[in-house]
Amino acid sequence: MSAKSCPNTAAFLKGAHAAWLAAGREGDAIGYTWPVVRRRKLSLERIDARLGQYSFDASTPIAPGSWEGAYWSAQTALTALDAVLGGAPTAFALCRPPGHHAGADYLGGYCYLNNAAIAAQRAHDAGAGPVAILDVDYHHGNGTQDIFEARGDIFFASIHADPATDYPFYWGHADETGSGEGAGTTLNIPMPRGTRIDAYLAALETAASRITAWGARFLVVSFGADTFSGDPISHFAIETEDFAAIGARIAAMDLPTAIIMEGGYAVGDLGGNVARFLSGFADKP
Amino acid sequence: MSAKSCPNTAAFLKGAHAAWLAAGREGDAIGYTWPVVRRRKLSLERIDARLGQYSFDASTPIAPGSWEGAYWSAQTALTALDAVLGGAPTAFALCRPPGHHAGADYLGGYCYLNNAAIAAQRAHDAGAGPVAILDVDYHHGNGTQDIFEARGDIFFASIHADPATDYPFYWGHADETGSGEGAGTTLNIPMPRGTRIDAYLAALETAASRITAWGARFLVVSFGADTFSGDPISHFAIETEDFAAIGARIAAMDLPTAIIMEGGYAVGDLGGNVARFLSGFADKP
Ligand SMILES: [Zn+2]
Ligand SMILES: [Zn+2]
């Protein structure tokens, strides 16, 4: 019966708990991230309802200071952006909380306001464009993609862990290339777990070439240091010294560049990894 | 800045924690239910990803026995259904776990397989139709609606707490009336918290009349006793003695009827409430 009326649920449900155990978990299997796309606008009163309406996972608690923190994180991004608009070749915004998982109308992935998207929009509004966003965090920048995927005037490229295996799962697949006026101005390059610097730089070459060919004149970088081999929640094999090469390749695009800090969870190594990445911009004109 | 780039998130985020406290909660605000509609099919490997792909909330843990329990609950519904197909005027399936929040491809709301939908489909397949489903649980039967909302051959009617204030929030609004071939064969009657039997029976009159006018020849009832005034998670004011009147009005539709048990959380009163509901069918031909 179930195979007829609900074949997908049945097949999933039969194997779900065993898969949970096989993944090294204990207790009951439970979800924490959901594919919330193309939602209908609803007028909902209850805070519980609105929490779901404005988020896509259970990883983004709202504390009393969340708004203030998110607000000033975005202001930090804008300060860096303004420095570049003012003539600095590169500026780095040490944003906390990060932003690239937050969409125009949803929170998620420890992100509340999309700092990179906010900065890119201001660069666009200031006439500095065409603006491209390059996301080199370990995770796909689903929020940024959602904000711009139907727009042809801002390019979004992301190199990230394959969403078939890694958060945020429901976005960042290679066949997501933009829609409507934005068709062709989204580029997703999913990479397998274990990716090392050589393969990473090859993907970066592809992304940089596409951005250059598109005619970008301004670049916003979503930089995550969670591609680091020692990151506790990620699975690439980028070493500390590799970050300089990643930074250098982006610097070689020779565009005014605002760098926005995203993820990075190996706290002890984080400063060194970020510094090494930024060192790649040292020779930038 | 945020008001321009992400006005919805900003407005929500500013007030979210205060609203959480105002609702009597403590600590950080966090979501547990998400509007997962019109999802794209994706091939996802990780169990974490698949849990989100096949659910819409964090209230439906999968334990080692979940599949077996859900399977036999559905079989219970089918046993009742077969009794009615075999000539019994009414049969009651004491299903656990319940089913009406589960869609064809998602779990949620303590539901894994949609017992009522599975029963209705078999009645339809057996030629007993046209089949209508009447959902009188406190909560909207979002899974049942999703399964049949685009079909014109099975009618779905639900009387439930207004989803603006009550779970499952993202379904069951009055303007959801079916789509495509199913346009007009979904009826949602949201009721305010505090609804008493008089108002409830008026709504039931509307639902029963619509089902009769549509030409139903077979009825599946999703019955929840969580409309009870003493239910710990619900907010209607139906008293134990009222359930007989609800049952009697449904019995007066004079259709072969399979009753499927859904919610009901006032455990001490549950048996009496169910018995009173079923007593309404005593005089049914
Ligand atoms: Zn990340
Ligand atoms: Zn219920």
B205 pLDDT higher than 60 = yes
DSSP per-residue letters across A267-280: HHHHHHHHHHHHHT
Determine whether the interchain pair A9/B113 forms a contact, defined as Cβ–Cβ distance below 8 Å.
yes
Q: In whole angstroms, give the CA distance from residue B147 to residue A40.
A: 18
Answer yes or no: is B2 within a domain.
no
From A13, A36, A113, residue closest to B67, measured CB to CB = A13
Domain co-membership, B44 together with B79: no
Answer yes or no: is B284 within a domain.
no
User: Phi and psi for B33 in degrees, rounded to 5?
Assistant: -140, 135
Q: In whole angstroms, give the CA distance from residue A57 to residue A97.
A: 16
Summarised one tens digit per residue, pLDDT across range B21-32 is 999 999 998 888
Q: Name residues 211-250 of chain B within 8 A of A (Cβ).
A: none
pLDDT (0 to 100) of residue B2: 45
Q: How confident is the model at residue A248 (pLDDT cuts 50, 70, 90)?
A: very high
Answer yes or no: is A155 within a domain.
yes
Measured in Å, residue A59 CA sits from the centre of ligand 2 at: 27
Q: In whole angstroms, give the CA distance from residue B92 to residue A275.
A: 68
From A35, A61, A166, residue closest to B29, measured CB to CB = A61
Q: To the nearest whole percent, how much of chain B has pLDDT over 90?
A: 84
Answer yes or no: is B58 within a domain.
no
* Mean pLDDT of the A253-282 span: 97
Domain co-membership, B222 together with B123: yes
Domain co-membership, A46 together with A186: no
Q: Is the pTM of this model over 0.90?
A: yes
Q: Name residues 169-188 of chain B within 8 A of A (Cβ).
A: 169-170, 173
Contact yes or no for B248/B282 (Cβ under 8 A)? no
Which listed ligand is nearest to A168 at the C-alpha? 1
Domain co-membership, B114 together with B144: yes
Q: In whole angstroms, give the CA distance from residue A114 to residue B2.
A: 9
A114 pLDDT higher than 70 = yes
Helices (H), B169-251: 197-214, 242-251
pLDDT (0 to 100) of residue B9: 75
Summarised one tens digit per residue, pLDDT across range A207-243 is 999 999 999 999 999 999 999 999 999 999 999 999 9
Domain co-membership, B113 together with B209: yes
Give the number of domains in chain B: 2
Domain co-membership, A23 together with A78: no
Cα A39 to Cα A110, A178, A183, A213, B275: the distances in Å are 21, 18, 21, 34, 40
* Mean pLDDT of the A171-199 span: 98
* Mean pLDDT of the B163-189 span: 97
Residues of B in contact with A30 (CB under 8 A): 51, 58, 60-62
Measured in Å, residue A208 CA sits from the centre of ligand 1 at: 20
Q: To the nearest whole percent, how much of chain A has pLDDT over 70?
A: 97
Domain co-membership, B191 together with B247: yes
Summarised one tens digit per residue, pLDDT across range B134-166 is 999 999 999 999 999 999 999 999 999 999 999
| Residue from A136, A129, A146, A123 nearest A205 by CA | A136
Measured in Å, residue B191 CA sits from the centre of ligand 2 at: 14
Domain co-membership, B35 together with B79: no
Domain co-membership, A142 together with A247: yes
Summarised one tens digit per residue, pLDDT across range A95-113 is 999 999 999 989 999 999 9
Alpha-carbon distance A216 to nearest alpha carbon in chain B (angstroms): 21
Helices (H), A23-92: 47-53, 66-85
* Mean pLDDT of the A166-174 span: 96
Alpha-carbon distance A133 to nearest alpha carbon in chain B (angstroms): 15
Domain co-membership, B126 together with B251: yes
Domain co-membership, B76 together with B164: yes
Alpha-carbon distance B170 to nearest alpha carbon in chain A (angstroms): 7
From B8, B27, B47, residue closest to A23, measured CB to CB = B47
Q: What is the ipTM of this complex?
A: 0.89
With a CB cutoff of 8 Å and minimum separation 6, the contacts of A154 are: A120, A121, A124, A129, A130, A131, A132, A133, A148, A185
CA B171, B173, B174, B179 torsion: positive or negative?
Answer: negative
From B5, B22, B45, residue closest to A164, measured CB to CB = B45
Q: What is the CATH number of the domain that holds A248?
A: 3.40.800.20
Summarised one tens digit per residue, pLDDT across range B224-249 is 999 999 999 999 999 999 999 999 99
| A contact test, residue of B40, B42, B48, B177 with most A CBs within 10 A | B48
pLDDT (0 to 100) of residue A35: 84
* Mean pLDDT of the B245-267 span: 98
Answer yes or no: is B141 within a domain.
yes
Residues of A in contact with B164 (CB under 8 A): 42-46, 49
Domain co-membership, B49 together with B71: no
Summarised one tens digit per residue, pLDDT across range A43-90 is 898 999 999 999 999 989 999 999 999 999 999 999 999 999 999 999
| Token pair of A64 as six digits | 């009393």
Answer yes or no: is A271 within a domain.
yes
Answer yes or no: is A284 within a domain.
no
Among all residues of chain A, which has the CA nearest to that of B54?
A9
Determine whether the interchain pair B62/A104 forms a contact, defined as Cβ–Cβ distance below 8 Å.
no
With a CB cutoff of 8 Å and minimum separation 6, the contacts of B260 are: B77, B80, B93, B95, B99, B100, B115, B116, B119, B220, B221, B222, B223
Give me chain B's average pLDDT, please.
94
- B53 close to A (CB below 8 A): yes
Structural domain for B144, as ranges = 66-279
Answer yes or no: is B13 within a domain.
yes
With a CB cutoff of 8 Å and minimum separation 6, the contacts of B56 are: A34, B33, B34, B35, B36, B103, B106, B107, B108, B168
| Residues bordering ligand 1, an ion, CB closer than 5 Å | A 137-139, 224, 226, 263
User: Which one has a higher pLDDT value, B279 or A283?
Assistant: B279
Residues of B in contact with A62 (CB under 8 A): 13, 16-17, 20, 28-30
Question: Quick count: other Cβ atoms within 10 Å of Cβ B32?
Answer: 13
B100 annotated active-site: no
Determine whether the interchain pair A9/B53 forms a contact, defined as Cβ–Cβ distance below 8 Å.
no
B199 pLDDT higher than 80 = yes
Q: How confident is the model at residue B1 (pLDDT cuts 50, 70, 90)?
A: very low
Residue A125's H or E segment, with its range, is helix A115-125
